[in-house]
């Protein structure tokens, strides 16, 4: 059952591939779009490394700041773009988009580097301290531990930036995801699919490599000793990055949104849309978390689910739209929001799956099986209590990602039922005003709630551990 | 209910491209206490997991009372097992562990395994010895016909080890449970076993009583293992 659902989540990608093979429209290689995409993504990755490495050094010390670092990462790129507009800066080109992406994605590098440094066994460092210089320690002990997580994090940032749709679409920079959307709008399905197919292969290859590298910091005190001077420098960079990428946008939105009653009034105007979006996002989160916790073991399909996370959101949307057209699905089904929910589930399956697949020790489940407990009882008595904190955190993150996602919403929102993020995205094309600020504040508030659940689920030490 | 006889025929298994078990042949009589001894990486745990049905063999078969057990899922094999890492359920109390598995027998098990007064505690609140006792109590809670013990006393001090081994032996004799005890050295439960099977690089090197193995080693490895591993609990 869980395997069948896992296969269902791959339908959108299968539809995309099918469209590339047999869809309408001619194949024209979008060389310029590829060039812009690669250059922009490389710039974002470089910026994230420049900020994330010192911030990671600082985060290796542990403490509550580690979870605070996740806040900018939760901020949707849409809000980072709104912040750019709020500052009254000129319309950004390719590298402006890279700066916006970097402001959102630097915590990926910081958290990965921080986790890697915190995991260096203290005896290794003690032994090195006795016999090696500081440079040798960095080269021989620290770097080998940090190298792979750093590369993995940089790769993740590169792919996330390359596949990002909202920022380049807002500022009319013709990157690959924008070109795919434009071709789709012109009903050149095959051309759109071909444009993105190499990205699917790259994302898949990367997903296979990256899934074994631990990126989420382990709870508990870090053991990594740091020199005060370097740590002070790292603190300055981390704090500045955090203020610029999270504190500043929030302050700008609060300033522009006006009084509380004005903010509430805007929210009321979009009430139906907010409720509709939240309902879809909650359904997506609940289904994915339940599915992941029921499976609770590794799967050969993991790289495919992970690859979907690194692809433009319009890729699964396009695949699903084309597939439903081929299958001749009834109109009421297309209008029900089920397609949108499936595209969102396909895109964010890995976010729910990866934290939950190892939430329970395999031997605990095996002990239950040998004790004659039924599957339902094992899930209720053994899996659920152990997985609950991570399930809450994963569910909250999926909920928010689904709420703020633009790509699938652009293509698959039923008539008259736009998501709130899509409203915000459309509204931003008219400029930055009180409505944009108020809707942004609503998403920021959701970020806060999500962060609280993530904090409980991922960063706090689990008191119950044998 | 008495124990089950176990027959292992040409059992093979590879893990990660490495052959762990090579055409193993072994018979364990109903109610017998067999010790499976071998160095780390010799395939002891893998063999236990195959017998329990937690993993599938690549070749060969496992017979329970002469019948192929391949189609019997783990929960219906009537097997109790103490895992190397104990695999206690972190969110269940001592009482819940035993009542979930043994139902009404929980109270008796608590008393028998010296867990009185600890019923409401959860595993992380217990000492190492108490955790071991709980794992043992859970393994026998359903009155299994086959008990698999994967180095269950490895982290205990000698006094506690002897006490627990005594409790276990008493229970095994009383209920005639077939028991396979895995260890990587010659400790008291191994020396008390009716037979010992020595496992080396995925093969049963020799099986017999301790005296037979000591007096008539079939290979240099067996005699060397005895020479190196003449350690006995005292």
3-state secondary structure of A10: coil
Residue-wise pLDDT for B119-137, tens only, equals: 999 988 998 888 989 999 9
Which pLDDT belongs to residue A459?
52
Look at B89 and A369 and tell me if their CB atoms are within 8 Å.
Answer: no
Residues of chain A short of pLDDT 70, as ranges, are 23-25, 62-64, 122-123, 126-130, 211-226, 296, 456-466
Which pLDDT belongs to residue A40?
94
Closest CA to A46 of A97, A110, A98: A98
Closest CA to A345 of A293, A287, A297: A287
Query: What count of residues does chain A have?
Result: 466
Which residues on neighbouring strands pair with residue B21, listed in sequence order?
A: B13
ipTM value, please give it.
0.72
Find the range with the poorest average confidence among A33-37, B45-49, B61-65, B160-164. B160-164
Sort out which chain A residues have CB atoms less than 8 A from B91's CB and list them: 381-382, 385-386, 464
Q: Is-contact A320 A423, C-beta < 8 A? A: no
Which pLDDT belongs to residue A464?
41
Question: Considering Cα of A215, then A305, then A354, then B75, what sign does the dihedral take?
Answer: negative
- Backbone torsions φ then ψ of B208, nearest 5 degrees: 165, -170
Which pLDDT belongs to residue B196?
92
Find the range with the poorest average confidence among A211-220, A440-449, B11-20, B29-38. A211-220
Question: Considering Cα of A296, then A300, then A301, then A306, what sign does the dihedral take?
Answer: positive
pTM of the model: 0.74
Q: Which of B85, B91, B138 minimises the CB distance to A386? A: B91
Q: Which of A361, A363, A370 minimises the CB distance to B75? A: A370
Look at A363 and B79 and tell me if their CB atoms are within 8 Å.
Answer: no
Q: How far is A387 from chain B, CA to nearest CA, in Å?
A: 11
| Mean pLDDT, residues B66-85 | 89
Residue-wise pLDDT for B78-126, tens only, equals: 999 998 888 888 888 999 899 888 888 888 999 988 899 999 999 889 9
Which pLDDT belongs to residue A144?
84
Residue-wise pLDDT for B150-166, tens only, equals: 988 877 778 888 888 88
Answer whether residue B233 shows pLDDT above 80: no
Which pLDDT belongs to residue A214?
56
Which pLDDT belongs to residue B163?
82
Measured CA to CA, the distance from residue A183 to residue B176 in angstroms comes to 75
Q: Choosing among A367, A377, A380, which should be mutated to test the B contact, i.e. which has the most B CBs within 10 A? A: A367
Look at B124 and A466 and tell me if their CB atoms are within 8 Å.
Answer: yes
Which pLDDT belongs to residue B192?
79
What mean pLDDT is reported for chain B? Answer: 87
Structure tokens at B100: 């979930």
Which pLDDT belongs to residue A220?
45
Which pLDDT belongs to residue A414?
86
Where do the H-state alpha helices sit in A89-188? 94-118, 122-131, 134-137, 143-163, 166-170, 176-185
Residue of chain A with shortest Cα separation from B80: A370
Which pLDDT belongs to residue A466?
32
Q: How far is B220 from chain A, CA to nearest CA, in Å?
A: 36
Which pLDDT belongs to residue A280?
93
Query: In which band, very low, low, confident or very high, does the pLDDT at B228 lie, cut at 50, 70 and 90?
Result: low
| Mean pLDDT, residues B173-178 | 90
């Amino acid at each position: 059952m869980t395997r069948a659902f896992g296969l269902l989540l791959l339908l959108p990608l299968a539809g995309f591939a099918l469209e590339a093979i047999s869809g309408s429209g001619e194949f024209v290689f979008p060389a310029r779009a590829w060039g812009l995409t690669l250059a922009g993504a490389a710039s974002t990755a470089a910026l994230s490394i420049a900020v994330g490495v010192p911030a990671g050094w600082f985060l290796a010390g542990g403490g509550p700041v580690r979870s605070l670092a996740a806040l900018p990462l939760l901020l949707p790129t849409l809000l980072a773009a709104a912040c750019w507009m709020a500052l009254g800066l000129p319309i950004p080109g390719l590298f402006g988009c890279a700066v916006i992406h970097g402001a959102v994605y630097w915590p990926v590098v910081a958290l990965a580097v921080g986790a890697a440094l915190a995991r260096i066994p203290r005896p290794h460092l003690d032994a090195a301290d006795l016999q090696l210089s500081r440079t040798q320690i960095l080269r021989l002990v620290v770097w080998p531990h940090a190298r792979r997580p750093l590369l993995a994090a940089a790769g993740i940032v590169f792919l996330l930036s390359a596949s990002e749709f909202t920022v380049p679409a807002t500022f009319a920079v013709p990157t690959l995801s924008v070109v795919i959307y434009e071709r789709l709008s012109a009903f050149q399905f095959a051309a759109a699919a071909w444009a993105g197919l190499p990205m699917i292969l790259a994302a898949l290859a990367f997903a296979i490599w990256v899934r074994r590298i631990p990126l989420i910091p382990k709870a508990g005190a870090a053991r990594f000793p740091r020199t005060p001077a370097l740590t002070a420098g790292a603190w300055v960079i981390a704090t500045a990055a955090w203020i610029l990428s999270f504190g500043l946008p929030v302050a700008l939105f609060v300033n522009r949104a006006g009084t509380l009653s004005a903010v509430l009034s805007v929210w009321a105007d979009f009430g139906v849309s907010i409720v509709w979006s939240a309902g879809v996002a909650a359904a997506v989160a609940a289904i994915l978390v339940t599915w992941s916790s029921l499976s609770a073991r590794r799967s050969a399909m993991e790289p495919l689910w992970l690859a979907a996370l690194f692809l433009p959101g319009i890729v699964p949307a396009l695949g699903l739209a084309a597939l439903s057209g081929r299958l001749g699905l009834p109109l009421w089904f297309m209008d029900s929001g089920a397609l949108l929910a499936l595209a969102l589930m396909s895109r964010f399956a890995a976010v729910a799956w990866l934290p939950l697949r190892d939430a329970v020790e395999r031997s605990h489940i095996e002990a239950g099986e040998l004790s004659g407990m039924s599957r339902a009882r094992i899930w209720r008595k053994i899996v659920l209590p152990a997985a609950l904190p991570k399930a809450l955190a994963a569910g909250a993150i999926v909920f928010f990602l689904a709420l703020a996602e633009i790509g699938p919403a652009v293509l698959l929102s039923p008539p008259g039922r736009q998501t709130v993020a899509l409203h915000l995205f459309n509204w931003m094309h008219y400029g930055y005003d009180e409505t944009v600020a108020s809707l942004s504040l609503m998403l920021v508030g959701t970020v806060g709630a999500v962060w609280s659940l993530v904090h409980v689920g991922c960063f706090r030490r689990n008191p119950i551990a044998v | 209910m008495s124990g089950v006889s176990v027959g292992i025929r040409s059992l093979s298994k590879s893990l990660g491209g490495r052959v762990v078990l090579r055409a193993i042949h072994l018979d364990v009589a109903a109610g017998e206490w067999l010790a499976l001894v071998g160095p780390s990486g010799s395939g002891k745990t893998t063999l236990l997991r195959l017998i329990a049905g937690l993993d599938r063999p690549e070749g060969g078969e496992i017979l329970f009372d002469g019948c192929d057990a391949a189609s019997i899922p783990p929960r219906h094999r009537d097997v109790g097992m103490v895992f190397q890492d104990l695999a206690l359920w972190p969110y269940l109390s001592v009482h819940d562990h035993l009542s979930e598995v043994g139902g009404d027998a929980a109270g008796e098990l608590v008393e028998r395994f010296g867990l009185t007064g600890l019923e409401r505690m959860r595993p992380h609140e217990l000492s190492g010895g108490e955790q071991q006792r709980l794992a043992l109590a859970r393994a026998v809670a359903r009155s299994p016909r086959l008990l698999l013990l994967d180095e269950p006393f490895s982290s205990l001090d000698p006094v506690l080890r002897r006490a627990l081994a005594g409790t276990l032996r008493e229970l095994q004799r009383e209920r005639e449970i077939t028991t396979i005890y895995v260890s990587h050295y010659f400790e008291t439960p191994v020396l008390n076993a009716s037979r010992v099977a020595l496992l080396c690089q995925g093969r049963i090197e020799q099986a017999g009583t301790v005296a037979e193995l000591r007096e008539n080693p079939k290979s240099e490895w067996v005699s060397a293992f005895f020479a190196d591993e003449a350690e006995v609990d005292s």
